[in-house]
C-alpha cells in the first residue's frame, strides 16, 4: 500500500531482503499498537512499469515479515519520485508513481486505497531486470520535512487571494441538485457569426486545429500516438 498516513516504509512478505542494517526502529499503529525493534533493511521486489517489469529497491524500510509492504508517500517523494495516487475514475488523477529515472509504476486502487503490485525477485530477475531505486539509503528521518502551517502567519496572508479557475461553485442548486449547463446553440454557427447590440459588434471566428498526439505522450504515460488519437 502507498500510504500518505505512514511516515516510513515497512518491508514484508511481498519483497525480498537485500541487506540488513545495524539499526532497529519501533513501529506504532492504530490504538498505539506497537512492533518493537524490527530491523532496518534494504529490500527489493518486482513490479510492472510502462517499459515492462522492473526490480524496485527500497532503502531504509522496517522489516515486518508477515503481511504486505507499506510505502510512505513522503519517503518516496523525498527521493524526488512523483507520487500521484489520485484516482483516475473519480478525480482525474494519474494513479501512478513517476520515478526519477523515467519509469511510471501503476497503482491499483482497492477499497479506495492505492497499492503497488509487488512480488519477491528471483536470482534470475536480479541479474536480468533493470534496478530502480525508489528511496534514499541515507538514514530516514521524516521529522526533517515537518511544516507547521498553523503557526505561519504569512501562509494565511498568501492564501486569502487563492482562486482555482477550474472549480465552479455554481453547479448545484440550493437543494444540492446538479444543474446541467445549458448551451445556447443559437450563439455559434459552423464558421462565423455576427453578434451585435446597441454598443458593440463582435465577429467570432472558429478555426479548427489539428493536434499532434505525439506532443501529449507525457500526459498518457508514453503510450503510442495511435492510442492517444
- In angstroms, the CA 118 to CA 46 distance is 5
> Residue 41 domain-assigned?
yes
Cα–Cα nearest to 135, from 83, 64, 205, 193: 83
Rg (CA), the chain: 25
Give the H or E element holding residue 159. helix 153-159
pTM of the model: 0.68
Residue 167 has pLDDT above 60, yes or no: no
Q: What is the pLDDT of residue 168?
A: 54
Residue 178 lies in a domain: no
What is the span of the domain harbouring residue 116? 2-138
188 in any annotated domain? no
Does 59 reside within a domain? yes
Is pLDDT at 191 greater than 70 in this prediction? no
Looking at residues 119-145, what average pLDDT do you find? 96
**pLDDT over 50 (residue 189):** no
Instruction: Please state the separation of Cα 121 from the chain's center in Å.
Output: 24
Does 180 reside within a domain?
no
The helix/strand/coil state of 61 is strand
Q: Is residue 150 part of a domain?
A: no
From the DSSP assignment, how many helices (H) and strands (E) are in the chain?
Answer: 5, 16
Structural domain includes residue 102? yes
Q: Evaluate whether 192 touches 204 at the Cβ level (below 8 Å).
A: yes
| CA atoms of 217 and 102, how far apart (whole Å) | 13
pLDDT on residue 162: 66
Q: In total, how many domains does the chain have?
A: 1
pLDDT at residue 193 tops 50: no
DSSP for residue 121: P
Q: For residue range 58-103, what is the model confidence (pLDDT) as tens digits? A: 999 999 998 999 999 999 999 999 999 999 887 788 999 999 999 9
d(C-alpha 34, C-alpha 169), whole Å: 44
Flag whether 133 is in a domain: yes
Amino acid at each position: 500500500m502507498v500510504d500518505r498516513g505512514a511516515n516510513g516504509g515497512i518491508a514484508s512478505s511481498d519483497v525480498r531482503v537485500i541487506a540488513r542494517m545495524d539499526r532497529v526502529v519501533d513501529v506504532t499503529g492504530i490504538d498505539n499498537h506497537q512492533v518493537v525493534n524490527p530491523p532496518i533493511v534494504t529490500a527489493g521486489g518486482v513490479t510492472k512499469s510502462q517499459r515492462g517489469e522492473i526490480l524496485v529497491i527500497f532503502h531504509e524500510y522496517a522489516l515486518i515479515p508477515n503481511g504486505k509492504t507499506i510505502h510512505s508517500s513522503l519517503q518516496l517523494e523525498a527521493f524526488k519520485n512523483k507520487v500521484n495516487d489520485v484516482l483516475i475514475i473519480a478525480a482525474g488523477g494519474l494513479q501512478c508513481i513517476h520515478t526519477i529515472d523515467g519509469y511510471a509504476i501503476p497503482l491499483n486502487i482497492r477499497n479506495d486505497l492505492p497499492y503497488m503490485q509487488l512480488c519477491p525477485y528471483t536470482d534470475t530477475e536480479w541479474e536480468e531486470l533493470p534496478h530502480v531505486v525508489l528511496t534514499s539509503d541515507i538514514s530516514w528521518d521524516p521529522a526533517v520535512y515537518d511544516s507547521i502551517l498553523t503557526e505561519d502567519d504569512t501562509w494565511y496572508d498568501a492564501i486569502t487571494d487563492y482562486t482555482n479557475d477550474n472549480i465552479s461553485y455554481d453547479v448545484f442548486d440550493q437543494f444540492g441538485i446538479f444543474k446541467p449547463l445549458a448551451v445556447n446553440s443559437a450563439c455559434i454557427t459552423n464558421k462565423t457569426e455576427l453578434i451585435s447590440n446597441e454598443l458593440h459588434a463582435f465577429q467570432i471566428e472558429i478555426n479548427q486545429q489539428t493536434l499532434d498526439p505525439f506532443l501529449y505522450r507525457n500526459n498518457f504515460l508514453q503510450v503510442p500516438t495511435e492510442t492517444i488519437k
